Structure 1
Amino acid sequence: MKLFRQLSRGLSLFFLGIAVIIGAAQAETVTPHRGGTLTLILPSEPSALVAIATVAQPVIAVSAKVTEGLLTYDYNLNPLAQLATSWEISPDGLQYTFHLRKGVKWTDGKPFTSADVAFSINLLKKTHPRAKATFANVESIATPDPLTAVFKLSNPAPYLIRAFAAGETPIVPEHIYANTDPLKNENNNHPIGTGPYVFEKWVRGSYIIYKRNPNYWDQPKPYIDQLIVKFSTDPVVRSLDLQTGQADLGYRTPVALSELKTLQKKPDLVFGYQGYNYNYSVASIYFNLDDKVFKDIRVRQAIAHAINRAALLKVVYFGYATPTESPIAPGLKAFHSATPSPYQYDLAAANKLLDEAGYKKGSDGVRLRVTLDYNTFDDTFQRNAEFVRSALSRIGIAVTLRSQDISTYAERVFTHRDFQFSIDQYANLYDPTAGVQRLYWSKNYRPGVPWTNISHYINPQVDKVLEAAQTENDAQKRIADFKQFQDIVQHDVPDIPLASPQFITIANKRVHDSSPTADGIEGNLSTVWVDPKP
């Protein structure tokens, strides 16, 4: 699993002296305290509570608390048991057999069986933005008995064993979803699951309450009695809540990056970097290739020439990120290409390209006016957008920024296609086939399905290379496929990768064992416990 070891960012000066690592808490020998309430704070409200049709971060953050997966993973992405207790892969890679946990029940009392597994995977292939690619080679799922699920593949899928985390591949109850419209099913907002928590209520615009599942299969977990999930789009509010104890836990760097050094001096707060191994991400500028302005590659090339990533790293991320010119995150070391973009920072080249494209400067110095969209889940989206607006003003492109909540953004961009270009950030996950292919594979252009091929990028050669990597069992050949893919995409510029952020968890010192697995806070939080409040 050397390919998937945790990324070392080279930012040690920023983190020097931080002794407490939340992700290491699983090594504690202290007996967990039972009882109490944990409050998790998010920067945006989820649009649903089950991640069957979205990869939006707020949804993934809450989904696994009720709706579990077959497996979870250690920090090196080695599989660990969850709803499956053991598994075998045939030597030819064409059959995966999962043996399921006995005695597990849904929170409505119905038994969990292999039929739920088969139903869930087939459902996700239709509704989930990434599952169509992830499970493309899964031809059928046999259920010879209630505790055995056998995946039969048409071709090998060397990444597949790492695809079964709860947030990525949730297992849902067939008896709730069968013969319904899954996207409108009430379970998405009032979930029934197998997880450590039972959904209690959702006060829209404010918070969600989960209670301890007294019948959870992994007793004596969970240790806390209640999990509250709050949301605030204001980083100042999130910071104050964490400092005053109104919130106990925040992940994916829940405060303004400019505040981190000050907060690291607070004695009641601890900072952690584990639990992000499953979702290395890349923030990028994405073009709508159907737009009359951005269908011209010269305009996209000009914009690429106008972006100074070294400046962006300082201004937007305060150094807490790794700049990247490739769509595959540096964290996926074996697959990431360090080949520079053919469009390096060069304002003269940018101006020349815009002249050639017919966009001459007017008397006001403006060549053209465009609108840049961004959503509000992550504070860096707005800062990236502001940086891009400033950068493009230097080459005569006037940019109007347009922000919206995640649901509105997703509908505008993926359903109505009513955008010119956008700032967004996508998880590469544990493998490029799962996290990257969806954005560039022409067969994954699915209007109405969020977080798919946002640019409407079509390149038959890219399709061929990505599909080859999907089934290639030879590790070196697969790496070569992805390097070729990156070279082509960097030339075509359907998007402009900017940076891969360093995510940080902030917690009150009374919080323990919050991130024992690769998906961290996005896991089921069954192990977390809190010291009693004084």
Structure 2
Amino acid sequence: MSEFRPSRRHLLAAGGLLVVTPAGLVPEAFAQAQLAASPKRGGVLTALIDPEPTALLSAVNVSGPTSFVSPKVHEGLLDYDFDLTPKPQLATHWETNEDGLSYSFKLRQGVKWHDGRDFTAEDVAFSLLFLKAHHAHNRSTFANLAKVRTPDPHTAIVVFSKPAPYFLTALIASQAPIIPKHLFEGKDPITNPAHNNPVGTGPFVFKEWVRGSHILYERNPNYWDQPKPYVDRLIVRVVTDPAARAAALESGTADISGDNPVPLAEVSRFTKLPNLAVEEKGSAYSGDINQLVFNLDNPYLKELKVRQAIAHAIDKKAYLDIVWYGFGEITNGPVVPALKQWAATDLPVYAFDPKRAEALLDEAGLKRGTGGIRFKLTNDYLPYGENFKRGSEFIKQALARIGIEVTIRGQDFASYIRRVYTNRDFDFANAWLSNYFDPTVGVQRLFWTQNIKKGTPFSNGANYSNPEVDALFEAAAVEPNVEKRRELLRKVQHLLVHDLPHYDLIAQKNLTVFNKRVKNHTVSANGLRANFADVYIES
């Protein structure tokens, strides 16, 4: 066994993520994320969130709101610096075998679950196998996980049947939480009450969830990393109205909120307020992308020419500028440009061409009828801030020009998830999805036939199946050679751009707005989806 010491080259191979400064703002307008000195103890931190989580633990549910709250209670084996360098969390030391098939983790000793039970290697073994079976991302991430050996209470040896070149970058709390075996073993993996009454090892202890109002956490006095955490209470308030969020932040009744919490048109003004700042860092781990997800069971959308027509009808540059105020980057494929190591640069482009769109619909036999309408579709937008609704309004207007009448349907987050991923009662969705740090983790799950799994959020909602795509993804997942793996992923991107189960719009930027008295809120690649152990409030 040799000790794993990641190099810069290794980390680029694992993800190659970059942070891009949004258009329209100079870098000086943004706060610089760094650990501040001399933390102060005490106080209440109030964070705003929208939409409300549908669960408080990210062992099955991988939505953004759940990924925000879960790490405050449940931790991962590792955490990651902004450049994705692994650093200890529940694991203090790790080694990888030369063949790349087994990894040995030394676990932190003296750690207690919030109910007083000891944290051991048995919890790690149970958690990784649970994630392999039930987690939308980790069904592919851990597809070749064979077993986890536990030679003693503080050692876990993870064994794969085939190489998993991304594994040591896949162990963050928001995506691979370690859960208590004694509360999950023998229980229904989906309906277990522990998803909404979480018991973890993290810096905050769950106290209450008042639906539609707030989630309350209190400082864990027995946290292993003393004297952290520094704040006494964390209140996560559910505020769905962007104007109300902006007012709460501006008035000081709320301290912090992420994922573009205020209207993007207001960001420039907020950077000039004396009590507030805007943070651009903290989304390196997620690799976010705005896509249209087509239901391939729909009688119109199952036709490739119809999906191609929709693609040609949308002016992506105008979409970026009008809907997102330039906070993002156009993407022509399912891998975001920031994943430079893996994003194909030779993909065909569906240029904005309404005449070509009209011709494709004519070729498909969908002629204009009464009122110039060819057919009707319903668009469901992700209820995550105002930008996706604005995006759907833009798309409605674009498609009206080529004779497709679109009805926009809004709903709460739980209803959206149920409609798209359980009932499949939708035509096409305006979605926010994430590449994460590697296509095997964030992209494969969306198009892999084995991930057509009703009831699992953010899985293969399109119901897309292509054996060639499956084979390429599966080969890339176990290919340790970077150049060979890049070629496999290039081929799969070409197939996906041709088949169009999704239409890729932009890689959006997600900003955090915070009160300047809040320190150390963004100290890792996962931004506000970290555990807040380092956060303190300056008086």
Aligned partner of 1:176 in structure 2 is 183
Aligned partner of 1:522 in structure 2 is 529
Aligned partner of 1:275 in structure 2 is 282
Aligned partner of 2:18 in structure 1 is 7
Aligned partner of 2:82 in structure 1 is 75
Query: 1:198-213 counterparts in 2 under 5 A?
Result: 198-213=205-220
Cα deviation, 1:164-199, whole Å, max 9, x if unaligned, reads 100000101010111111221111111111000011
Cα deviation, 1:39-97, whole Å, max 9, x if unaligned, reads 11112111111011111100000000001110000011111000000001101100011
Query: 1:117-128 counterparts in 2 under 5 A?
Result: 117-128=124-135
Aligned partner of 1:322 in structure 2 is 329
Amino acid at match of 2:376: R
Q: Distance in 1 between matches of 2:220 and 2:116?
A: 12
Aligned partner of 1:186 in structure 2 is 193
Aligned partner of 1:487 in structure 2 is 494
Quote how far apart the aligned CAs of 1:10 are. Answer: 5.7
**Do the aligned residues in 1 keep the contact of 2:31 with 2:280 (CA within 8 Å)?**
no
Q: Distance in 1 between matches of 2:250 and 2:30?
A: 19
**Do the aligned residues in 2 keep the contact of 1:66 with 1:196 (CA within 8 Å)?**
yes
Quote how far apart the aligned CAs of 1:363 are. Answer: 3.2
Quote how far apart the aligned CAs of 1:342 are. Answer: 4.2
Quote how far apart the aligned CAs of 1:375 are. Answer: 2.5
**Do the aligned residues in 2 keep the contact of 1:94 with 1:153 (CA within 8 Å)?**
yes
Does residue 1:17 correspond to 2:17, yes or no?
no
Quote how far apart the aligned CAs of 1:19 are. Answer: 5.2
SS at match of 2:493: helix
Amino acid at match of 1:100: L
**Do the aligned residues in 1 keep the contact of 2:121 with 2:156 (CA within 8 Å)?**
yes
Aligned partner of 2:308 in structure 1 is 301
Amino acid at match of 1:2: L
Aligned partner of 2:40 in structure 1 is 33
Aligned partner of 2:5 in structure 1 is none
Cα deviation, 1:143-175, whole Å, max 9, x if unaligned, reads 111111111111100000011100000101010
Aligned partner of 2:423 in structure 1 is 416
Amino acid at match of 1:434: V
Amino acid at match of 2:487: A
Instruction: Could you tell me which runs of 5 or more consecutive residues in structure 1 were left unpaired when the two chains were aligned.
Output: none
SS at match of 1:80: strand
Aligned counterpart in structure 1 of residue 63 of structure 2, from 56, 60, 66: 56
Amino acid at match of 2:454: P
**Do the aligned residues in 2 keep the contact of 1:368 with 1:398 (CA within 8 Å)?**
yes
**Do the aligned residues in 1 keep the contact of 2:332 with 2:349 (CA within 8 Å)?**
no
Quote how far apart the aligned CAs of 1:339 are. Answer: 2.9
Aligned partner of 1:98 in structure 2 is 105
Does residue 1:345 correspond to 2:352, yes or no?
yes
Aligned partner of 2:250 in structure 1 is 243
Quote how far apart the aligned CAs of 1:8 are. Answer: 4.2
Does residue 1:477 correspond to 2:481, yes or no?
no
Q: Distance in 1 between matches of 2:330 and 2:55?
A: 32
SS at match of 1:14: coil
Does residue 1:310 correspond to 2:355, yes or no?
no
Does residue 1:216 correspond to 2:223, yes or no?
yes
Amino acid at match of 2:310: I
Amino acid at match of 1:526: A
Q: Distance in 1 between matches of 2:343 and 2:58?
A: 28
Cα deviation, 1:344-398, whole Å, max 9, x if unaligned, reads 2111111011111111111301110111112212322111111110100000000
Amino acid at match of 1:489: L
Instruction: Could you tell me which runs of 5 or more consecutive residues in structure 2 were left unpaired when the two chains were aligned.
Output: 1-10
Aligned partner of 1:439 in structure 2 is 446
Quote how far apart the aligned CAs of 1:520 are. Answer: 1.2
Amino acid at match of 1:14: L
Q: Distance in 2 between matches of 1:185 and 1:371?
A: 34
Amino acid at match of 1:32: P
Q: Distance in 2 between matches of 1:339 and 1:384?
A: 27
Does residue 1:464 correspond to 2:471, yes or no?
yes
SS at match of 2:45: strand
Quote how far apart the aligned CAs of 1:340 are. Answer: 4.4
Comparing 177-186 and 153-162, the one that deviates more: 177-186
SS at match of 1:489: helix
TM-score, normalization by structure 2:
0.96
Does residue 1:331 correspond to 2:338, yes or no?
yes
Quote how far apart the aligned CAs of 1:338 are. Answer: 2.8
Quote how far apart the aligned CAs of 1:494 are. Answer: 0.8
**Do the aligned residues in 2 keep the contact of 1:342 with 1:491 (CA within 8 Å)?**
no
Amino acid at match of 2:284: N
**Do the aligned residues in 1 keep the contact of 2:217 with 2:235 (CA within 8 Å)?**
yes
Aligned partner of 1:356 in structure 2 is 363
Cα deviation, 1:383-428, whole Å, max 9, x if unaligned, reads 1111110100000000001111111111111111111111111111
Amino acid at match of 2:360: L
Quote how far apart the aligned CAs of 1:223 are. Answer: 0.4
Query: 1:135-150 counterparts in 2 under 5 A?
Result: 135-150=142-157
Amino acid at match of 1:102: Q
Identity of aligned residues (%): 43
Amino acid at match of 2:308: Q
Counting matched residue pairs gives 528
Aligned counterpart in structure 2 of residue 425 of structure 1, from 421, 427, 432: 432
Quote how far apart the aligned CAs of 1:9 are. Answer: 2.8
Does residue 1:392 correspond to 2:392, yes or no?
no
Comparing 505-514 and 1-10, the one that deviates more: 1-10
Aligned partner of 1:259 in structure 2 is 266
**Do the aligned residues in 2 keep the contact of 1:326 with 1:338 (CA within 8 Å)?**
no
Q: Distance in 2 between matches of 1:6 and 1:434?
A: 14
Quote how far apart the aligned CAs of 1:331 are. Answer: 1.3
SS at match of 1:387: helix
**Do the aligned residues in 2 keep the contact of 1:5 with 1:75 (CA within 8 Å)?**
no
**Do the aligned residues in 2 keep the contact of 1:69 with 1:83 (CA within 8 Å)?**
yes
